[in-house]
């Protein structure tokens, strides 16, 4: 589908930024960038404004602040609970999610979306950890896989939040039931201010069964992956949102990767600037580099500002 | 202990009442299926180990034609479970037995991907066996000159096998079956729609401008682009419509394929026609959804929203229409509404949800029982 005009991914975060950095006017649109800086895979600490050079649509911008963000984080877990994780894998998935939850700060909020061919929300965004734990304990696995639908849902639900948001997606490598096309989700992700992390693994051989309940539409379910449309999707969506794709070695590696994703998010810098010398609306290409230090910079590559509603 | 003992006794009784020879047991199962006790026959055959099935198939010929007569011919023995006499109605002809076995195997194959190959291979062995027997002068049918019904059966069988293989994502296998089906059943709208649906799905997997060696295709299939699959799908649907202009599924899928090929005007035209002949709520729902997607692609968001809202009126809790509506609303800067519809979906208990879209890529799986019945009715004698 063609990219169309939607609301801005730009952080129209007047109130949010005003709360943290009162010198910004609430009326001013500021852009916030979540930035990962690593050197040989390790986070680079101690960077300041002077360490970055930022261009917005080719025009150098004045960076207003660089922080290693201590403010609250919204973490959305999007977990594959289809047939492919029935049994022990589901238990590993629960444990990984619990370990993730345990690493959250008390003021961080978390929610849980699960998906088979259906997308469900067993836990709303909140700081209520027991509720999250209960939702994880109650999660069951069955059915086909609608990963793209689930990620779209996570993105649109994030739309009105002004908090930093990480979406952690777990899937095992196949989508058999989504309505929303992967390209549509990726395009949409470019317009939403959330960082997507993904954890996946691939098993050896495919095995499909058909889930057929009386009066229901039969769906093909999968117990191990066969169609590698998901790896390409996850690579793309983590790239456009400045996140990271992590591969788990076997089911037991899940816990490590879930925790690693959260630590990585927490180790990010948050850059703020107010675009200057560029058209306000439309797509903005971002070019961010280090000036004085060595390292690899990972951030979203662009954002979109919709024209004002008439 | 009592329970174990009782179970053991039951097993012994069951063994005693069943033919010990795998070929005999196999023929008994096929007859059970032929006479209407299908569920039990399918469940039993589905659990047969490979070795037993192999022995059964190897023993079939000797079971039906135990020995040659002094003239060197191979008549059916008087005790044979088959007959070529039209007045001996209780017994099937050999061809009917083989064909019924093929139907039984395809019926069993749909139950689990782990036995798919075993049963489709077994049925293919039967096709080969029939050809072999006839080549060596065995009579297998009452009217060996009547080729039409055998051709039709072969086409329908391979289309069904292809549908099942595709549903289990055994794409190379499905491709082979559909190719054969198209050779034998290209005057059957159902076969054409099945083959077209297969190419439509593979086009989605291949993706624009990409090669997908991981799909396992060989030969010309390995080189086919998404567009090539879409064009082949369109050809199948057009041929189906030439045979039956009121075939809604062919019309709807042709519209979707035209849309994917970028032929928006044609897509609109076909979908508009499909909407007029959609036979039930599910059909109308899917057609509305495709109509919405086509309008969205063409940039007409208000028309897209009209279609999605009509689809929603047909299935308010269907996930696909909620997501489509949400995305269309988001594109029209109705972000609050886009979020609200999703919030509404998430409030619906998952046990209450169903969605025709979930079965779309499984081709004609949604009418598999009908296709099996059609195949049973097409069994040649």
Among the listed residues B363, B290, B365, the one whose alpha carbon sits nearest the alpha carbon of residue B320: B290
**Mean local confidence (pLDDT), A196-216:** 68
> Is the pLDDT confidence value at B319 over 80?
yes
Rounded CA separation A266/A258 (Å):
13
**Mean local confidence (pLDDT), A265-284:** 91
The whole-number pLDDT of residue B64 equals: 80
**Mean local confidence (pLDDT), A215-227:** 57
The whole-number pLDDT of residue B322 equals: 96
The top-scoring range by mean pLDDT among A129-133, A202-206, A298-302 is A129-133
Measured between beta carbons, the chain B residues lying within 8 angstroms of A215 are 354
Measured between beta carbons, the chain A residues lying within 8 angstroms of B324 are 179-180
The β-bridge relationship of strands A219-224 and A207-211 is: antiparallel
Rounded CA separation B318/A142 (Å):
18
> Is the pLDDT confidence value at B309 over 70?
yes
Among the listed residues A229, A228, A211, the one whose alpha carbon sits nearest the alpha carbon of residue A220: A211
The whole-number pLDDT of residue A57 equals: 94
The whole-number pLDDT of residue B73 equals: 59
> Is the pLDDT confidence value at A217 over 70?
no
Cross-strand partners of A74: A109, A165
Q: Which alpha helices (H) appear in chain B, and where do they start and end? A: 2-17, 22-34, 38-46, 50-64, 94-109, 116-135, 148-167, 171-184, 189-206, 219-223, 226-243, 248-260, 264-277, 281-297, 301-314, 319-331, 335-347, 368-377
Interface ipTM: 0.84
A91-100, A138-147, A154-163: segment of lowest average pLDDT: A154-163
B338/A4 Cβ within 8 A = no
Residue pLDDT, tens place only, B206-244:
776 566 676 778 778 888 888 999 999 999 999 999 999
A6/B330 Cβ within 8 A = yes
Of B296, B333, B342, the CB nearest to A6: B333
* CA distances (Å), origin A30, targets A35, A180, B4, B264, B366: 16, 31, 75, 40, 52
Contact between B185 and B158 (Cβ < 8 Å) = yes
A146/B319 Cβ within 8 A = yes
Measured between beta carbons, the chain A residues lying within 8 angstroms of B289 are 179
**Mean local confidence (pLDDT), B298-326:** 95
Residues 206-225 on B with a CB inside 8 Å of A are 207, 214-215
B358/A207 Cβ within 8 A = no
In a mutagenesis test of the A interface, which of B42, B110, B113 is the best target, namely the one with the most A β-carbons within 10 Å?
B113
Query: Touching check for B324 and chain A: CB below 8 Å?
Result: yes
DSSP class of residue A253 equals G
Residue pLDDT, tens place only, A92-121:
999 999 999 999 999 999 999 999 999 999
In a mutagenesis test of the B interface, which of A7, A183, A219, A229 is the best target, namely the one with the most B β-carbons within 10 Å?
A219
Q: Which residue has the higher pLDDT, A28 or A42?
A: A42
The whole-number pLDDT of residue A250 equals: 64
Chain B residue with minimal CA distance to A221?
Answer: B168
- In angstroms, the separation between the Cα of residue B18 and the nearest Cα of chain A is 30
Measured between beta carbons, the chain A residues lying within 8 angstroms of B339 are 156-157, 159-160
Rounded CA separation B227/B215 (Å):
16
> Is the pLDDT confidence value at B347 over 80?
yes
> Is the pLDDT confidence value at A309 over 80?
no
DSSP string for A79-108: EE-SGGGTTHHHHHHHHHHHHHHHTS-TT-
Sign of the dihedral defined by the CA atoms of residues B85, B86, B92, B93, in that order: positive
Return the axis-axis angle of helices B189-206 and B148-167, rounded to nearest 10°: 30
Contact between B362 and A219 (Cβ < 8 Å) = yes
Query: What SS3 class is residue B79?
Result: coil
The whole-number pLDDT of residue B89 equals: 62
Measured between beta carbons, the chain B residues lying within 8 angstroms of A123 are none
DSSP class of residue A174 equals -
B167/A120 Cβ within 8 A = no
Residues 143-202 on B with a CB inside 8 Å of A are 167-169
Measured between beta carbons, the chain B residues lying within 8 angstroms of A210 are 110, 167-168, 362, 365
Residue pLDDT, tens place only, B28-65:
999 999 989 999 999 999 999 899 999 999 888 888 87
Of A118, A156, A207, the CB nearest to B342: A156
Residue pLDDT, tens place only, B118-158:
999 999 999 998 888 888 878 888 776 567 888 899 999 99
Residue pLDDT, tens place only, A73-95:
999 999 999 888 888 889 999 99
Phi and psi, residue A191, nearest 5° = -95, 0
The whole-number pLDDT of residue A10 equals: 42
B326/A119 Cβ within 8 A = no
**Token reading at A247:** 């591969």
């Amino acid at each position: 589908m063609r990219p169309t005009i939607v609301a801005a991914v730009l952080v129209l975060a007047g109130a949010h930024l005003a709360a943290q950095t009162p010198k910004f006017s609430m009326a001013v649109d500021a852009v916030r960038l979540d930035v990962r800086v690593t050197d040989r895979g390790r986070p680079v600490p101690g960077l300041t404004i002077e360490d970055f050079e930022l261009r917005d649509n080719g025009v150098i911008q004045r960076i207003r602040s660089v922080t290693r963000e201590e403010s609250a984080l919204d973490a959305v877990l999007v977990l594959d609970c289809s047939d492919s994780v029935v049994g022990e894998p589901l238990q590993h998935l629960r444990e990984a999610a619990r370990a993730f939850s345990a690493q959250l700060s008390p003021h961080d909020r978390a929610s849980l979306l699960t998906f088979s061919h259906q997308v469900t929300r067993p836990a709303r965004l909140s700081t209520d950890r027991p509720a999250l734990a209960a939702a994880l304990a109650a999660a069951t696995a069955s059915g086909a896989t609608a990963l793209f639908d689930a990620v779209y849902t996570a993105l649109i639900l994030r739309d009105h939040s002004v908090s930093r948001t990480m979406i952690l997606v777990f899937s095992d490598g196949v989508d058999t039931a989504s309505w929303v096309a992967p390209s549509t989700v990726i395009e949409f992700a470019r317009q939403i201010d959330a960082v997507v992390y993904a954890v996946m693994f691939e098993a050896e051989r495919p095995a499909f069964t058909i889930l057929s309940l009386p009066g229901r539409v039969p769906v093909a379910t999968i117990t191990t992956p066969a169609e590698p449309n998901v790896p390409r999707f996850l690579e793309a969506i983590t790239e456009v949102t400045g996140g990271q794709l992590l591969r788990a070695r076997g089911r037991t590696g899940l816990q490590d990767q879930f925790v690693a994703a959260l630590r990585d998010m927490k180790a990010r810098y948050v850059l703020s600037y107010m675009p200057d010398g560029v058209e306000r609306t439309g797509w903005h290409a971002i070019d961010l580099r280090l000036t004085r230090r060595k390292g690899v910079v990972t951030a979203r590559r662009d954002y979109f500002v919709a024209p004002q509603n008439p | 202990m009592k329970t174990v003992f009782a179970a053991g006794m039951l097993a012994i009784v069951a063994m005693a009442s069943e033919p010990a020879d795998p070929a005999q047991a196999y023929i008994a199962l096929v007859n059970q299926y032929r006479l209407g006790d299908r569920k039990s026959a399918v469940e039993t055959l589905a659990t047969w180990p490979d070795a037993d099935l192999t022995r059964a198939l190897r023993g079939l010929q000797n079971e039906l034609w135990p020995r040659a007569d002094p003239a060197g011919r191979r008549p059916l023995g008087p005790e044979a479970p088959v007959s070529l006499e039209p007045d001996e109605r209780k017994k099937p002809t050999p061809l009917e037995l083989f064909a019924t076995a093929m139907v039984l195997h395809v019926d069993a194959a749909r139950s689990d991907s782990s036995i798919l190959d075993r049963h489709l291979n077994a049925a293919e062995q039967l096709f080969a066996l029939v050809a072999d027997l006839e080549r060596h002068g065995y009579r297998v049918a009452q009217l060996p000159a009547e080729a039409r019904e055998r051709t039709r059966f072969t086409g329908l069988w391979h289309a069904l096998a292809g549908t099942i293989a595709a549903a289990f994502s055994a794409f190379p296998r499905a491709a082979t079956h559909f190719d054969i089906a198209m050779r034998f059943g290209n005057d059957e709208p159902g076969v054409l729609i099945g083959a077209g649906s297969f190419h439509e799905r593979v086009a989605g997997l291949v993706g624009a401008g990409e090669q997908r060696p991981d799909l396992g295709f060989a030969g010309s299939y390995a080189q086919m682009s998404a567009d090539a699959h879409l064009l082949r799908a369109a050809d199948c649907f057009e041929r189906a419509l030439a045979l039956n202009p009121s075939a809604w599924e062919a019309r709807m899928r042709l519209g979707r394929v035209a849309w994917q090929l970028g032929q928006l005007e044609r897509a609109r035209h076909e979908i508009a026609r499909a909407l007029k002949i959609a036979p039930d709520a599910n059909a109308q729902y899917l057609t509305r959804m495709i109509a919405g997607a086509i309008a969205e692609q063409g940039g007409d968001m208000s028309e897209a929203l009209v279609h999605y809202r009509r689809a929603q009126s047909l299935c308010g809790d269907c996930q696909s229409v909620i997501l489509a509506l949400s995305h269309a609303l988001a594109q029209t800067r109705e972000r609050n509404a886009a979020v609200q519809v999703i919030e509404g979906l998430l409030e619906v208990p998952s046990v209450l949800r169903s969605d025709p879209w979930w079965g779309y890529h499984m081709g004609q799986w949604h009418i598999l029982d009908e296709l099996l019945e059609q195949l049973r009715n097409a069994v040649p004698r």
